[in-house]
Structure 1
Amino acid sequence: MPGGLVALLDDVSVIARAAAASIDDVGIAAGKAGSKAAGVVIDDAAVTPSYVTGFTPDRELPIIYAITKGSLINKLLILLPAALLLSAFLPWAITPILMLGGLYLSYEGAEKVLEKLGGAKHGETLADPITDFAKFEQDRIKGAIRTDLILSAEIMAITLNEVATETLITRAGVLAVVGIGITFVVYGAVAMIVKMDDVGLHLAERTSSAAQSIGKFLLDAMPILLVALSFIGTIAMLWVGGGILLHGLEELGIHGPIDIQHSIQHAVEVATGALGGVFGWLTGAIVSGIVGLVLGAIVAFIVHKVFKLGHSAEAH
């Protein structure tokens, strides 16, 4: 009996050490994958505040909470199982699916640009008379969750690429850790951004002159910041969407477009000397954004002019 107990405890110890090593592997891999996805995370954080712009303060946090729940569902219940199944059975399908997502992001970004330039609005906006505000809010939430699905797909794809050689359990663990972590980082930051005006109002009502000055600054700055973030979000859609398409074409063996991008980027790096890294990266992002804008505008034309979809706003 004692010998059997010692053997059992020894087996438990081995299992515990293996589990600890597995958790450690997940943590290390998640850290690496999360850092690779940082660019998309920034885009996600920039896009989201635009979905609560113009709503009353009491609706801002409930809207962000609803989007956060939708984002977790996107990552954990839709994308994580899909990523594992695709990596196991249809690895070749990941790139085309990502490219469709990139095209959708480009379409959304291009549509916003065209509307700003005087094109027809598609769907209700806060500038229009809204007959059903609750429905409009739900439409905004659904739109945010759809956009989140595309950005989350890119995050999960980057993560999956970093752990492609790991075991199924490790891949699942890393995808879950990165998905949950990034969701709370992004939407926690968004919640703080959109509530800064309330903080400013609270400080402005204090007796301290320093607190009042800070509060007034926040109150004056927040509308400008939210408009700026909306603009950045549109640019981010085009940048990320175009980048996904360029890299997707490269993965499919079509190297011409991304070679042109690299050539332009390299020429700028050489011409700008010590600042070549910064200006080179910016040039690559601009080229990706132009690709996204052009292709997105083509899709918008096909959707709205050829198939005559999305003209509800024109009827008002």
Structure 2
Amino acid sequence: MPSGLVALLDDISVIAKAASASIDDVAVAAGRAGTKTAGVVIDDAAVTPSYVTGLSPARELPIIWKITKGSLRNKLIFLLPGALLLSEFLPQAITYLLIIGGAFLCYEGAEKVMEKLGFGKHGETLEDEITDPVAFENERVGGAIRTDFILSAEIMAIALAEVADESLVMRGAVLALVAVAVTVAVYGAVGLIVKLDDIGLNLTRRASTSAQAFGRFLLRFVPKLLTALSIIGTIAMLWVGGHIVVDSLHKLGWDGLYGPIHAAEHAVHEMAGAAGGVLGWLTATTLSAIFGLILGGIIALVLHKVLGVGEGEGH
């Protein structure tokens, strides 16, 4: 009996060690995959605060929470099973889906640029009077979740590519961990950003002069930060979208864009010396963003001017 108990305990110990090793493997793989998604994550974090700009401060965190739940639903219920099925039975389709997603990001970014340049508005913007706050909030949340779906799809696809050689169970565990970690990080940061002005206002009411000074600084800083994030978000959409399309076309065997962009990146890298790495990356990023703007502009013109999508909606 004792020998049987000892054997059982030994088996349990082996199983526990194996489980611990598996958890470590998942964490390492998720960290590796997560780093590859950094560009899309920055895009997501930069874009999201715009969805609560102009709304009641009391509704900011509830709206962020709605978007967070929608993002988790996008990743865990729709994208995770879909990504695993595609990776198992139709891996070649992932590249085409990336092209569609990248083109959508280019379109979203280009449309924002076109609106700023006075080429018309499509949908309500911050300059419009909000006649129905509930409907407007629902529209904002719906738009954020739709954009998040594309960004989340890119995140999941990029992460999946990093663990394509792992087992199905490992791929699923890594994608689930990346999905939760990225969502918590992005929307936690967004929640903090959109409440910075409230924090500043609270600090101005403190007895401490240093707290009051910092509070006034935050109140001056937050509007500039939100404006900067809006610009960064638009640029990131064009950069990420353009890069995804160019890279995906390269994987399909067409280097008409990939070759010249990376040749320019390499040339700048060689000429710039110590700063070559940064300047080379900036060159490739700028060219990808320019391509994204051109592609997105073409899509927007076709949709709005040729097909009439979004035109005449009471702008």
- TM-score past 0.5 threshold: yes
CA shift, 1:138, in A, is 0.8
CA distance in 2, matches of 1:133, 1:75: 28
**CA–CA distance in 2 between the matches of 1:234 and 1:39?**
13
Write the letter of the residue equivalent to 2:282.
L
The yes-or-no answer on 1:118 pairing with 2:114 is no
Deviations 1:36-83 (A, max 9, x none): 212221111111111111112111111111110011011111111111
Q: What CA RMSD, in Å, does the superposition of the two structures yield over aligned residues?
A: 1.4
Identical counterparts, % of pairs: 63
Partner residue, 2:264: 264
- 2:61 and 2:199 mapped to 1: Cα distance? 14
Q: Which amino acid aligns with 2:225?
A: L
Distance 1:240 1:230 in 2: 15
For residues 231 and 10 of structure 2, what CA distance do their matches in structure 1 show? 60
Corresponding residue of 2:31: 31
| Superimposed CA distance per residue, residues 173-225 of structure 1 (whole angstroms, 9 cap, x where no aligned partner) | 11111110110011101111111101110111122221111111110111111
Mapped to 2, the partners of 1:26 and 1:227 lie a distance apart of 38
Distance in structure 2 (CA, Å) of the matches to 1:97 and 1:8: 49
* Rounded Cα–Cα distance in structure 2 between residues aligned with 1:15 and 1:100: 44
Instruction: Return the alpha-carbon distance in structure 1 between the equivalents of residues 245 and 190 of structure 2.
Output: 27
Verify the 8 A CA contact 1:123 1:311 in the aligned structure 2. Answer: no
Matching residue's letter, 2:180: I
Equivalent residue for 1:82? Answer: 82
- What is the alpha-carbon distance in structure 2 between the residues aligned to residue 56 and residue 65 of structure 1? 15
What secondary structure, in the 3-state scheme, does the structure 2 residue paired with 1:127 have?
A: coil
Structure 2 residues without counterparts, runs of 5 or longer = none
**Contact 1:249-1:255 within 8 A present in 2 as well:** yes
Shift, 1:267, TM fit = 2.0
Partner Cα distance (1:214, 1:2) in 2: 68
Letter in 2 for 1:90: L
Q: Distance in 2 between matches of 1:311 and 1:122?
A: 7
Q: How does 1:190-209 map to 2 (within 5 A)?
A: 190-209=190-209
For structure 1, the residue ranges without an aligned partner over 5 or more in a row are none
- TM (norm. structure 2) is 0.96
Residue-pair matches, total: 315
Give 1:312 shift: 4.3
Distance 1:269 1:51 in 2: 38
Q: TM-score, normalized by length of structure 1?
A: 0.96
In the alignment, the residues of structure 2 paired with residue 91 and residue 264 of structure 1 have an alpha-carbon distance, to the nearest angstrom, of: 31
What does residue range 161-310 of structure 1 map to in structure 2 within 5 Å? 161-310=161-310
Q: How much has 1:21 moved relative to structure 2?
A: 1.6
Task: Give the superposition deviation at 1:2.
Answer: 4.6
One-letter code aligned to 2:145:
I
Distance 2:165 2:13 in 1: 27
Partner of residue 139, structure 2: 139
Deviation at 1:272, TM superposition (A): 2.2
| Aligned counterpart, 2:94 | 94
Q: How does 1:54-73 map to 2 (within 5 A)?
A: 54-73=54-73
* Residue equivalent to 2:311: 311
Q: Which amino acid aligns with 1:266?
A: H
Tell which deviates more after alignment, 179-188 or 123-132. Answer: 123-132
CA drift of 1:29 comes to 0.6
Per-residue Cα deviation, 1:70-106 (whole angstroms, up to 9, x for no partner): 1101111111111110100000000000110000000
Distance 1:267 1:168 in 2: 41
In 2, Cα distance between the equivalents of 1:105 and 1:157? Answer: 15
Choose 195-204 or 37-46, whichever is displaced more: 37-46
**Matching residue's letter, 2:183:** T
Question: How far off is 1:118 after superposition?
Answer: 0.3
What letter matches 2:48 in structure 1?
T
* Cα distance in 1, alignment partners of residues 24 and 281 from structure 2: 33
Task: Provide the C-alpha distance between the structure 1 equivalents of 2:184 and 2:47, rounded to a whole number of angstroms.
Answer: 15
Once the two structures are TM-superposed, the CA of residue 3 in structure 1 deviates from its matched residue by 4.7
Partners of 1:280 and 1:52 in 2: how far apart? 35
Q: Secondary structure at the match of 2:139?
A: helix
Cα deviation for residue 28 of structure 1 reads: 1.0
Report the Cα distance in structure 2 between the residues aligned to 1:62 and 1:230, rounded to whole angstroms: 21
